């Protein structure tokens, strides 16, 4: 498909934009959405940009019953000079196709959907907020729409992109969180869907998340489903630990989401010649490092927060304070570098940014 083939129906009743300081995550949506359909006969077709609107879907549509769906999450940023740029969007569409394969959903044309996304963001560019720390969150997703109750891959799908202006993740500067290590529930296991970005993984995580939230923890740290010993990831972040000068992150073992931010962190560390290893890490290893004073920093990485320092881990009822509950030096440096590149304040040596507009109107 050619990007020229995308039909555009402009919204004739644009909404009022929320005030930048009142933006929450994922509650406000822009004036337009991108939609395209799939059928076995036509493949992906009927690509259009249209006013943001409810979907009309048969109650027997497979997504409601058998969870055949995938999604992605990425962001567009407004630079100081007013341009709008996307952060590593090709990585997200590449990952979406990996998720598609696991969920038996037809492949998308990565180049085409990137062009469609650029066109959509261009149309809604006034929705990209400009204040410090704000951004436009982008949610591409695919749902199975065949009206059929048999347990089988759907023959019809919708690919949709919606956009949501979001406020700063850190209202008062980057700040460490308290995380509880989950011993009862399991998010994913090797052979399952853990490395795909699909709804079921998140549904599985709600219960553990809810239980620890009551005790004041912001997220859970998932352990592996087989031995219940090895560290996997946090709710919606990958995790890193700095032990005795070396940075360690769990290897991509099949049950962990391969985060785009994780990849960016690894590239930066290598660029800086900081020793880093991707391998299996047990909670016991962390506890031992904590005991002998070599657990220097811990942080999560993800699109929403970029870097989220971990100030406290609670495991089997015992508290492990990390770096006196303060943001570590390396965590801060990574955060400043990635956000600096995203907002166009720093050079972009890895070509992570993709321009949507040149000198677009600033919405402030």
Ligand X SMILES: Cc1ncc(COP(=O)(O)O)c(C=O)c1O
**Binding residues for ligand X (CB under 6 A):** 73, 233, 236-238, 257, 259-262, 301-303
Q: CB of 80: closest distance to a second copy in angstroms? A: 27
Between CA 39 and CA 111 the distance in angstroms is 20
For ligand X, the closer of residues 78 and 262 by Cβ is 262
Q: CB of 261: closest distance to ligand X in angstroms? A: 3
Q: CB of 364: closest distance to ligand X in angstroms? A: 26
Q: Given the structure tokens 């990952």, which residue do they identify? A: 95
Q: CB of 11: closest distance to ligand X in angstroms? A: 28
Spatial contact of 109 and 1, defined as CB atoms under 8 Å apart: yes
Interacting partner of 170 out of a second copy, ligand X, none (Cβ under 5 to 8 A depending on kind) = none
Output DSSP code: residue 107.
Answer: P
Residue environment code for 290-324, b if the CB has 16+ CB neighbours within 10 A, otherwise e: beeeebbbbbbbbbbbbbbbbbbbbbeeeebebbe
For ligand X, the closer of residues 68 and 357 by Cβ is 68
Interacting partner of 262 out of a second copy, ligand X, none (Cβ under 5 to 8 A depending on kind) = ligand X
Phi, psi for 263 (deg, rounded to 5): -60, -40
* Burial of 217 (C-beta count, 10 Å sphere; 0-12/13-18/19+): buried
Q: Which residues contact 292 (CB under 8 A, 6 or more apart)?
A: none
Interacting partner of 249 out of ligand X, a second copy, none (Cβ under 5 to 8 A depending on kind) = none
Between CA 360 and CA 61 the distance in angstroms is 40
For ligand X, the closer of residues 353 and 357 by Cβ is 353
Interacting partner of 26 out of ligand X, a second copy, none (Cβ under 5 to 8 A depending on kind) = a second copy
Q: CB of 301: closest distance to ligand X in angstroms? A: 6
Between CA 267 and CA 263 the distance in angstroms is 6
For a second copy, the closer of residues 3 and 204 by Cβ is 204
Residue environment code for 132-155, b if the CB has 16+ CB neighbours within 10 A, otherwise e: ebbbbbbbbbbbbbbebeeeeebe
Interacting partner of 250 out of ligand X, a second copy, none (Cβ under 5 to 8 A depending on kind) = none
For a second copy, the closer of residues 69 and 353 by Cβ is 69
Interacting partner of 79 out of ligand X, a second copy, none (Cβ under 5 to 8 A depending on kind) = none
Q: Look at the alpha carbons of 117, 118, 119, 122 in this order and tell me if their dihedral is positive or negative.
A: positive
Interacting partner of 191 out of ligand X, a second copy, none (Cβ under 5 to 8 A depending on kind) = a second copy
Q: CB of 304: closest distance to ligand X in angstroms? A: 7
283 Rama sector, left if φ>0, alpha if ψ -120 to 50, beta otherwise: alpha
Q: CB of 41: closest distance to ligand X in angstroms? A: 30
Interacting partner of 238 out of ligand X, a second copy, none (Cβ under 5 to 8 A depending on kind) = ligand X
Binding positions for a second copy, rule: CB under 8 A: 25-27, 29, 33, 52-60, 63-69, 71, 102-104, 137, 139, 141, 143, 147-153, 160, 162, 164, 184-193, 198-207, 209-210, 225-226, 228, 235-236
Phi, psi for 23 (deg, rounded to 5): -70, 130
Q: CB of 233: closest distance to ligand X in angstroms? A: 5
CB atoms near residue 19 (< 10 Å): 10
């Amino acid at each position: 498909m050619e990007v020229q083939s995308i039909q555009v129906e402009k919204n004739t009743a644009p909404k009022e934009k929320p005030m930048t300081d009142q933006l929450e995550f994922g509650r406000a949506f822009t004036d337009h959405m991108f939609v395209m359909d799939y059928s076995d006969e036509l493949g992906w077709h009927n690509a259009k940009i249209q006013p943001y609107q409810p979907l009309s879907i048969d109650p027997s549509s497979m997504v409601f019953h058998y969870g055949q769906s995938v999604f992605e999450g990425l962001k567009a940023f407004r630079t100081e000079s007013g341009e709008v740029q996307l952060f590593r969007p090709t990585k997200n569409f590449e990952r979406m196709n990996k998720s598609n394969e696991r969920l038996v959903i037809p492949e998308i044309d990565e180049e085409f959907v990137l062009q469609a996304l650029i066109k959509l963001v261009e149309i809604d560019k006034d929705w990209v907020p400009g204040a410090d720390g704000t951004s436009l969150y982008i949610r591409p997703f695919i749902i199975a729409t065949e009206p059929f109750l048999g347990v089988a891959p759907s023959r019809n799908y919708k690919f949709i992109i919606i956009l949501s202006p979001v406020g700063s993740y850190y209202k008062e500067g980057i700040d460490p969180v308290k995380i509880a290590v989950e011993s009862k529930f399991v998010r994913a296991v090797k052979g399952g869907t853990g490395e795909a970005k699909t709804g079921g993984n998140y549904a599985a995580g709600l219960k553990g998340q809810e239980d620890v939230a009551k005790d004041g923890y912001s997220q859970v740290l998932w352990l592996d489903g087989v031995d219940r010993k090895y560290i996997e990831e946090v709710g919606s972040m990958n995790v890193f630990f700095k032990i005795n000068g070396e940075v360690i992150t769990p290897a991509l073992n099949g049950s962990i989401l391969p985060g785009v931010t994780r990849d960016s962190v690894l590239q930066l560390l290598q660029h800086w010649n900081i020793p880093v290893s991707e391998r299996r890490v047990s909670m016991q290893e962390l506890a031992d490092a904590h005991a002998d004073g070599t657990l220097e920093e811990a942080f999560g990485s993800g699109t929403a927060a970029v870097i989220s320092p971990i100030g406290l881990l609670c495991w089997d009822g015992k508290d492990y304070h990390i770096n006196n509950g303060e943001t570590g030096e390396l965590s801060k440096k990574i955060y400043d570098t990635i956000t600096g590149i995203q907002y166009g304040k720093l050079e972009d040596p890895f070509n992570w940014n993709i321009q949507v507009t040149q000198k677009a109107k600033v919405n402030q």
